[in-house]
Structure 1
Amino acid sequence: MKEHIKHVLKLAFSIHGDTASYDEIHERIVSGGEVRGTNLCIMIFAIFIASIGLNMNSTAVIIGAMLISPLMGTIMAIGYGIATGDIDETEDSILGLLFQVITCLITSAIYFTITPITTASPELLARTTPTIWDVLIAVFGGFAGIIGFTRKEKSNVIPGVAIATALMPPLCTAGYGIAIKSFKYFAGALYLFIINTYFICLATIIGLLIMKVPQKTERDDERKKKFRAVLIRNTAIIIIPSLIFAMKMVEKEKEDTTEPIGISGISLDVGKLSEQLGVIYPEVSEVSAGYLKEWDSSEEKQHENLNVIVYLSKDISAGKKNKIKEFIDVETKFDKIQFIVRE
């Protein structure tokens, strides 16, 4: 009975049973990582689609861009080259990825420079502060991707991984940072892209080594030891900032409150809204929101209005106030939005 259970568990968790031939795996990954006319044209179209989706705060459009983007193939090709010791494939794929990244940054920066809508949408802001949870998504997504990619029969895993790990939107957000000359946006979004790229690549390497793909260049024990040391060092360097961001997020979550004095609370992340507006408009110091009870003398009854108060360090123009109102209305529809200057 014990042996039977072991056998069942082994079959259940084995990734070797329906693995494609090594030649087929090589052909799939290498061809998917090529940067040529077709892939490049598709990528440019995906850049514009993602940029428009981020600009218009459309999740559906952004998902469409993720699905058609060819970036995943190049990253997996880098992992394949490293796992098999194929230096030429690794170098070609890295150069291809760099070319794709530069193309994406330039194209998205051009779009966000000429678009009349310059206000940062929630979809854009969501990609500027990556945390340890983004690391976990990239790791699990990378493992799911390489397992699905190496099966005999093609599966629908890769599209799901492309949506979960989101490679194109962070690059387009970095392009937005270039367009509006915001280093914070650029650095935050580029860091998210680096997280996704590195950990998808790392998961690909580990997955292929577990599958024991043939090595083009054999590594002796000394080289294997150095290889592991480099991976551990690089992983730690990339993870540390995400841990710091995560701790700050948790601390802020504990401190945030959604119930200002005199107003009954509502379910809204006021702290996050304050932070987002503060990045775009430094004059915004705090945001309070809730239901305010008011007596209607004409109808002789009490009404509850959903109000928001934006506290400012100094007065701002009517144009800026209208843009803030538009931004807030994307999050939640309020009955009234007030601006109060608080020295």
Structure 2
Amino acid sequence: MLRSIYKFFNLHDGEDAKDKVLDNVTANITFKGANLWILACAIVIASVGLNVNSTAVIIGAMLISPLMGPIVGAGFALGTYDFDLLKKSGKNLLTATLVSLFVSFLYFLISPFKDAQSELLARTSPNIYDVIIAFFGGLVGVIAITRVEKGNPIPGVAIATALMPPLCTAGYGLAIGNISYFGGAIYLYLINCFFICISTFFIVKFLKYPKIKFVDKARESRITKTISVLIVVMLVPSFYLAYVLLEEKKFTQNIDKFIQNELVYKGYTLIYQKTQFNSRPKKLELAFLDKRFSVGELQELNQKMELYDIHNTDLLIRQDSSDLRKDILEEISKQNEYVNQKDITIQNLKNELKSFKLDEDKLLEELNILYPNLAPFSLGKQNVYINKDSSEYQYYLIHRNTLSAEEVESLNKWLSYKLPNNAINIVPLK
């Protein structure tokens, strides 16, 4: 019975020759020539699909993308302790990633349509489902690669693991200067790469692919230790990441249940919701249209959160009578402070202008009576800088008519009497 079950699930049944599989994997690693052109074209197609929010176009780009090659190659290299293959896979994956980022960045930079569509936004926040898809998609892919009959799974794996869209979204984030979009998309891309590589490693080990043989035993020992460390470095953070994403998903689901059962179903209209999973303690911030909660009700809600497995979480409800009104009053206070500061500035400018202003009507009337031949003329006050540390105000009377020396002296004395403690300058304008 057990033998029949084992035979039913036996992965060695239909397996291709290991040497042939390794040759095929190695051949699909390199990114140069045709492979690089195909990748660049696939990136442009995927970017257009994300730009116009077309799922069909994005799927088409994923089908022609050769990005899986170096990731699967890295998994085989780890499983067979082939350090040269690992270096080659890493180098080509880095090349493919940089080329993809550059092409998508260039496309979105020149594209006139830069609105964030739903297909773009879906690639900016990884979750536990992305980990599951990448891991099991990678399993399917490597199982298909090791078969004599490759069959239909390969195209499906390319679509499911979705390596292209996160790279294009990262390029979009760079093009519009949104670091949050770029970081989230690169994070999702790395998750996909890690878990495809890990699933490949598991299958290679399960199918018992032989370790590469070295003539130099010391070098073999050194490489074996190095790759063993790399495997641990990849496995431990990856499983921790999967655990964190799973906990975040559970937290979000519990929050939604709590809000629906304890608040929305009771007729309270929710107008604002914000959760912070990564803060310590975690936070849930809510606001309602017209419901005001008493201190007792808030305490009761905090206790009920424990029933929904929501632990170490602060509940903050912004209410019209307190928090929201406080924010409004603070904003009004800021506006009043701004207005007051503006009034002070205006008054200072008025005072400064006043210091330059003359009692023009009376002075001009007397000038015209005493010196009828002076017009046309101008009279003004100017701040004259004597040196870097001192300055003084001086009056300038500029006229166009020719005055005798006696008239200039008389005019100077009269102005000095009218404008005491100020230097007087009478300037003829030729």
The TM-score, its normalising length taken from structure 1, stands at 0.71
Q: CA deviation at 1:227?
A: 5.9
Q: Aligned partners of 1:23, 1:215: CA distance in 2, in Å?
A: 12
Match of 2:30 in 1: 34
Q: Aligned partners of 1:64, 1:252: CA distance in 2, in Å?
A: 37
Seen in structure 2, the aligned counterparts of structure 1 residues 245 and 130 have a Cα distance that, compared at 3 Å, is farther
Q: For residues 64-116 of structure 1, what are the alpha-carbon distances to aligned partners after superposition, in whole Å with 9 as ceiling and x for unaligned? A: 01111000111101111111111111101101101111111111111111111
Of the candidates 11, 29, 34, which is equivalent to residue 15 of structure 1? 11
Match of 2:182 in 1: 186
- Matches of residues 169-208 of structure 1 in structure 2 within 5 Å? 169-208=165-204
Matched to 2:87, the amino acid is E
Matched to 1:41, the amino acid is W
Seen in structure 2, the aligned counterparts of structure 1 residues 12 and 103 have a Cα distance that, compared at 3 Å, is same
Of the candidates 230, 234, 237, which is equivalent to residue 237 of structure 2? 234
User: SS state of the match for residue 15, structure 2?
Assistant: coil
Match of 1:128 in 2: 124
Match of 2:48 in 1: 52
Matched to 2:257, the amino acid is K
Seen in structure 2, the aligned counterparts of structure 1 residues 83 and 237 have a Cα distance that, compared at 3 Å, is same
1:168 aligns with 2:164: yes
Structure 1, unaligned runs of 5 or more:
276-284, 289-312, 315-343
Q: Which has the higher contact order (CA 8 A, sep 6+)?
A: 1
Task: Answer with 78-87 or 225-234: which moved more.
Answer: 225-234
Q: Aligned partners of 1:163, 1:151: CA distance in 2, in Å?
A: 20
Q: For residues 204-224 of structure 1, what are the alpha-carbon distances to aligned partners after superposition, in whole Å with 9 as ceiling and x for unaligned? A: 01101111112115877x948
Seen in structure 2, the aligned counterparts of structure 1 residues 271 and 11 have a Cα distance that, compared at 3 Å, is farther
Seen in structure 2, the aligned counterparts of structure 1 residues 244 and 112 have a Cα distance that, compared at 3 Å, is farther
Larger Rg: 2
Seen in structure 2, the aligned counterparts of structure 1 residues 189 and 26 have a Cα distance that, compared at 3 Å, is same
1:141·1:165 contact (CA, 8 Å) conserved in 2? yes
1:69 aligns with 2:65: yes
Match of 2:249 in 1: 246
1:252·1:271 contact (CA, 8 Å) conserved in 2? no
Match of 1:321 in 2: none
Seen in structure 2, the aligned counterparts of structure 1 residues 260 and 236 have a Cα distance that, compared at 3 Å, is closer
Q: Aligned partners of 1:61, 1:271: CA distance in 2, in Å?
A: 35
2:26·2:73 contact (CA, 8 Å) conserved in 1? yes
Match of 2:144 in 1: 148
Matched to 1:35, the amino acid is F
Q: For residues 267-302 of structure 1, what are the alpha-carbon distances to aligned partners after superposition, in whole Å with 9 as ceiling and x for unaligned? A: xxx999x99xxxxxxxxx99x9xxxxxxxxxxxxxx
User: SS state of the match for residue 117, structure 1?
Assistant: coil
Structure 2, unaligned runs of 5 or more:
215-219, 276-285, 290-326, 329-430
Q: CA deviation at 1:243?
A: 3.2
Q: For residues 4-32 of structure 1, what are the alpha-carbon distances to aligned partners after superposition, in whole Å with 9 as ceiling and x for unaligned? A: x2222111110002110011101111111
Seen in structure 2, the aligned counterparts of structure 1 residues 245 and 53 have a Cα distance that, compared at 3 Å, is farther
Q: CA deviation at 1:236?
A: 3.3
Equivalent pairs counted in the alignment come to 272
Matched to 1:79, the amino acid is G
Seen in structure 2, the aligned counterparts of structure 1 residues 121 and 44 have a Cα distance that, compared at 3 Å, is same
The TM-score, its normalising length taken from structure 2, stands at 0.57
Match of 1:103 in 2: 99
Of the candidates 211, 226, 229, which is equivalent to residue 215 of structure 1? 211
Seen in structure 2, the aligned counterparts of structure 1 residues 253 and 123 have a Cα distance that, compared at 3 Å, is farther
2:53·2:117 contact (CA, 8 Å) conserved in 1? yes
- Matches of residues 254-265 of structure 1 in structure 2 within 5 Å? 254=257
Matched to 2:46, the amino acid is A
2:43·2:164 contact (CA, 8 Å) conserved in 1? yes
Q: Aligned partners of 1:13, 1:250: CA distance in 2, in Å?
A: 35
1:149·1:155 contact (CA, 8 Å) conserved in 2? no
1:90 aligns with 2:86: yes
Q: Aligned partners of 2:251, 2:137: CA distance in 1, in Å?
A: 25
Match of 2:414 in 1: none
Matched to 1:128, the amino acid is T
Q: Aligned partners of 2:87, 2:7: CA distance in 1, in Å?
A: 37
